[in-house]
Each structure stands twice: as C-alpha cells, then as structure tokens.
C-alpha cells in the first residue's frame, strides 16, 4: 500500500472514530452531568437517547446524500459540523442546549461513518480487505477505550473535556482529508435535476418524521411515569400519541416506494428477521451494563471517574480480543456455537449482577465486565455472519442497514430499561432488579440460539 493510500486511510479513520468514541465516552459522564445540572437519570438519559436516535436517522440519509452530492463533500462537512458542536457543547447554558449540541454532534459524526467506508472501498484498490479491517479497528477500538478516555478526562479536567478532546481529531482529519481524499466526480444529471421534493421523497422524510416523533413521544411518556412515580393523564396522552404515530409510521413504510425502514423485508425473510431480533436483544443486554454500571459505581460505590474508566476498559479489551478469535472460530464452525456461548456468557454476567452489593469486591465487577466483553466480541462477528447467511445476496445492502437499525434500537431500549428500573437515583437494589431483567432476556437468547441450532440440525 502506497504512502498516499495510508494517509487517506488515516484521514478517514480519524473521522469515523468520532462517532463510537463519543457514544462510549458519555457512559462515565452521566453521573457528573446529573450532579452538575441537578437532574435525575430519566432526564439525563436523553444525552444517550438523542445521540442514538440521531445516528439511526442520519447515517442512512447521509449515505444516500453522498451518492448525489459527493462523498468528499459529505465527509468534510461532517467534520465541520462536529467541530462546531464540540466547541459549543461545553458552553451550553443549560441541559436542553447540551442535548441540541449532542444531536448536532451525532449528525456530524454520522456523516463521516456513512461515507468513510465507501471512500476507502472506492479509492483504495490495493489490499482493500486489509484497509477495511483497519477502519474497523478504528471503530471498535474507539468504542472500547471510550469509557477509559472519558474517565481520565473527567477526573483530571471536567465533563466538558469529553467534547473538547474531539477537536484535535477533527482538525487532523480535516487537513488530511482535504488533501488526500480524491475530488468528487461531477454530479450526475439525475442529481443535478432533482427537485427538493423528489429528494425528500427519496430519503422518506415523512417516514423519518413519523419515526422520530413517535419514538420520542413514547419515550417521554414511559419515562414520565417513572419520574413522577404515579400514572397521570399527561404521560398516558404523550405515550398514546407516540404509539399512534408509530402505527402511522408502520402504515406509511408499508405503502411508500422508498421506505426509511423497509418493513416488508422483515415479513419476506423471517430467518433474517430473527437474527435482527436477537441482535437487538443482545444490544439491550450489553448497553444496559455499558451505561448502567458506570453510574452505579460512581453514585453507589463512590468510585472515581478515573477508576470507573479503568474498570470499563476490561469490557472493551475483552471484546477486542474476542473478536478476531471469534472470526477464526466462526469461519471453521459457523456462527451457531459462538452465538450460543455468547448467550451463556451474557446469562452468567447478568446473574453475577444480581449478586452485586455495596461490599462486593472489585474483582466481581471485572468478572461481569469480562463476561459481557467476550460475549460482545462473539456477537459482533457471529451476528454479522448469521445475517449474511440468512439474507439473500440481492438485498445484502438493505439487510446491513436493518442490522444497524437493530443495534440502535437495542441501545435506545437499554437506556429506557435503565431509566424505568432506576428512576431518579441509582441503588444496589435497582442494579439487582436490572440484573434479574437482563437474566431473563439473556435466557431468552439462549433459548433462541438452542432452537435455531436444533432446527438447523434437523434440516441437515
């Protein structure tokens, strides 16, 4: 690989790592934000919801936009948007504005993720598989070390540092990308002559609006019940509006020619649908621990941000180590054994959470984190392999998009679960209840994996 291609890969890698880095650093900042803004977790959890909802929408939309307006333009614009959000977030006058800048940050970083892989795939033809695997390391590595970096920054500076740390990455990627990413080809005549209304139809703007409004209203309604401690007409009305809007979204997606989420694909390919359901549940499990345990450690066990980040590093490192091992195992034996072991490990880790109390040794924390980390490494590779196996080749692009949507939905549901269980204040009892719920979900994954293996053995 030539020098130009190496620098091109570095410029893209520095840009795309910002999305997973910022989605993971926040896990150790939640307790500090609760203290700074005097809010309970159900309110502060919107710092998580907002990022993942915006990412779920922005990534597919920006992927389509890059086909029309050029990948370099979208990538560099994303860097500028991320730069502005990283500068403004630390000086937010209140929590509402912080959420706004967090959404802007999510959109900016999603613009780079949406086109980064495509830039490398198009412009690097020599050792392309190696180049794409290096970019995957940027993504997975950033997610793995994010809590540790966030813990160090908050411990020695303050929560604002997790936004300001983006600036060196943005500047380096912008300077390199400006020079190294090849110029976009001239816009096609189709894109040049496309009206704004046609563009809105292409990205399914109506579907996106219905999805966003419905999901946000439903979350507000559910969290309001937990936050207030009793059922009143307000959360019921808001939650009802959310359900009705999501129903309208489903109806619209089934009728439109260019759906935001192609729901008919789920009905047409049930094997692929079950893979997505399992992947969503696996992400509910993983991110419930990922976002819940740091707040528990800081608020209940009074562990510092630095030491919380150190403990969370074991989760990321176990995931990184397990991924290449899982790849070789799955290449040899298929995804079924790895996914079954992953479900067993998640069950073990969830049961371990139930046994936690304020006197539990720190090694107990590491055991649960290691179990979830290894299972996450197995899942990331195994679920992807199961998806490819269950999806026809002609719809693999659509299937991959739905797969990422399942990840985001699992992450959003995990934050909702934590908010519903913990409410305004974390406690050892709340963590035990969370552990019981996660154990139930993990056992359902064990059952799904066992039934899939039995069914496929019968077919063989």
The span from the CA of 220 to the CA of 223, in Å, is: 5
How far, in Å, are 103, 106, 122, 144 from residue 100 at the CA level? 5, 10, 34, 26
Q: What share of the chain in percent tops pLDDT 70?
A: 89
Give the residue among 31, 51, 53 at the shortest CA–CA distance from 40. Answer: 31
Please answer whether residues 180 and 4 qualify as being in contact, where contact means their C-beta atoms are separated by less than 8 angstroms. yes
Asked, for residue 283, whether it belongs to a domain, the answer is yes
Asked, for residue 332, whether it belongs to a domain, the answer is yes
On the question of pLDDT at 254 being above 50, the answer is yes
For residues 316-334, give the mean pLDDT: 83
Q: What is the CATH number of the domain that holds 442?
A: 1.20.1250.20
Q: Are residues 399 and 378 part of one domain?
A: yes
Q: Are residues 253 and 135 part of one domain?
A: no
Q: What share of the chain in percent tops pLDDT 90?
A: 14
Measured over the CA atoms of residue 92, residue 97, residue 103 and residue 107, the dihedral's sign is negative
Residues 400-424 have pLDDT tens digits of 777 788 888 888 899 888 888 887 6
Q: Are residues 272 and 421 part of one domain?
A: yes
Q: Are residues 285 and 249 part of one domain?
A: no
Residues in the chain: 460
Asked, for residue 127, whether it belongs to a domain, the answer is yes
Residues 348-387 have pLDDT tens digits of 989 888 887 777 777 778 888 889 989 988 888 888 788 8
User: For residue 460, what pLDDT is reported?
Assistant: 46
The span from the CA of 269 to the CA of 61, in Å, is: 24
Q: Are residues 239 and 208 part of one domain?
A: yes
Mean pLDDT of the chain: 82
Local structure of 287: helix, strand or coil: helix
Contacts of residue 101, Cβ cutoff 8 Å, sequence gap at least 6: 85, 88, 89, 92, 163
Least confidently predicted of 59-68, 305-314, 366-375: 59-68
Least confidently predicted of 118-127, 310-319, 422-431: 118-127
User: For residue 338, what pLDDT is reported?
Assistant: 86
Q: Are residues 418 and 386 part of one domain?
A: yes
User: For residue 198, what pLDDT is reported?
Assistant: 75
Q: What is the dihedral of CA 249, 254, 259, 260, to 10 degrees?
A: 40
Q: Are residues 441 and 353 part of one domain?
A: yes
Contacts of residue 174, Cβ cutoff 8 Å, sequence gap at least 6: 76, 79, 80, 83
Q: Are residues 224 and 371 part of one domain?
A: no
User: For residue 79, what pLDDT is reported?
Assistant: 92
- DSSP structural state of residue 159: T
The span from the CA of 137 to the CA of 130, in Å, is: 11
Asked, for residue 167, whether it belongs to a domain, the answer is yes
Asked, for residue 143, whether it belongs to a domain, the answer is yes
Q: Are residues 18 and 97 part of one domain?
A: yes
Structural domain boundaries, residue 62: 1-193
For residues 181-197, give the mean pLDDT: 63
Asked, for residue 198, whether it belongs to a domain, the answer is no
Final residue belonging to a domain, choices 193, 212, 245 = 193
How far, in Å, are 11, 75, 136, 176 from residue 4 at the CA level? 11, 18, 20, 10
Q: Are residues 11 and 137 part of one domain?
A: yes
Asked, for residue 269, whether it belongs to a domain, the answer is yes
Question: In 10 A of CB 135, how many CB atoms?
Answer: 21
The span from the CA of 59 to the CA of 397, in Å, is: 13
Measured over the CA atoms of residue 392, residue 398, residue 403 and residue 406, the dihedral's sign is negative
Q: Are residues 157 and 221 part of one domain?
A: no
User: For residue 125, what pLDDT is reported?
Assistant: 66
User: For residue 99, what pLDDT is reported?
Assistant: 92
User: For residue 1, what pLDDT is reported?
Assistant: 57
Final residue belonging to a domain, choices 259, 280, 298 = 259
Q: Are residues 267 and 234 part of one domain?
A: no
For the chain, how many structural domains are there in total?
A: 3
């Amino acid at each position: 690989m030539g020098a130009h291609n190496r620098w091109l890969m570095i410029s893209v890698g520095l840009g795309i790592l910002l999305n997973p880095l910022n989605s993971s650093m926040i896990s150790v900042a939640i307790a500090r934000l609760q203290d700074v803004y005097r809010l309970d977790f159900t309110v502060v959890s919107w710092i998580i919801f907002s990022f993942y909802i915006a990412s779920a929408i922005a990534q597919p939309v920006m992927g389509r936009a890059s086909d029309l307006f050029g990948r370099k333009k979208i990538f560099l614009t994303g860097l500028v948007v991320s730069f502005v959000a990283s500068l403004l977030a630390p000086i937010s006058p209140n929590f509402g504005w912080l959420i706004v800048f967090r959404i802007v940050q999510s959109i900016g970083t999603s613009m780079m993720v949406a086109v980064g892989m495509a830039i490398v795939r198009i412009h690097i033809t020599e050792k392309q598989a190696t180049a794409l695997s290096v970019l995957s390391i940027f993504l997975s590595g950033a997610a793995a070390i994010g809590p540790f970096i966030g813990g160090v920054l908050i411990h020695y500076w303050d929560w604002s540092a997790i936004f300001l740390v983006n600036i060196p990455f943005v500047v380096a990627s912008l300077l390199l990308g400006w020079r190294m990413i090849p110029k976009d080809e001239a816009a096609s005549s189709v894109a040049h002559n496309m009206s704004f209304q046609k563009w809105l139809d292409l990205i399914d703007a109506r579907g996106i609006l219905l999805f966003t409004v419905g999901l946000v209203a439903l979350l507000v309604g559910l969290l309001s019940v937990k936050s207030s401690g009793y059922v009143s007409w307000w959360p019921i009305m808001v939650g009802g509006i959310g359900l009705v809007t999501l129903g309208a979204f489903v109806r619209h997606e089934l009728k439109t020619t260019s759906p935001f989420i192609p729901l008919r694909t789920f009905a047409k390919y049930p094997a692929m649908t079950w893979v997505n359901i399992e992947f969503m549940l696996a992400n509910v499990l993983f991110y419930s621990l990922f976002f819940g345990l740091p707040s528990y450690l800081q608020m209940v066990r009074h562990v510092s941000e630095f030491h919380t980040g150190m403990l969370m590093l074991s989760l990321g490192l176990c995931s990184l180590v397990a991924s290449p091992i899982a790849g070789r195992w799955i290449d040899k034996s298929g995804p079924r054994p790895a996914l079954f072991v992953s479900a067993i490990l998640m069950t073990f880790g969830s049961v371990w959470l139930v046994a936690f109390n304020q006197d539990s040794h720190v090694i107990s924390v590491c055991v649960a984190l290691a179990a979830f980390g290894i299972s996450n490494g197995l899942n990331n590779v195994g679920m992807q392999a199961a998806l490819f196996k269950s999806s026809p080749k002609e719809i693999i692009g659509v299937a991959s998009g739905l797969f990422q949507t399942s990840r985001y939905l699992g992450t959003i549901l995990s934050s909702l679960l934590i908010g519903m269980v913990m409410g305004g204040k974390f406690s050892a009892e709340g963590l035990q209840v969370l552990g019981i719920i996660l154990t139930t979900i993990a056992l359902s994954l064990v059952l799904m994996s066992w039934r899939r293996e039995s069914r496929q053995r019968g077919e063989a």
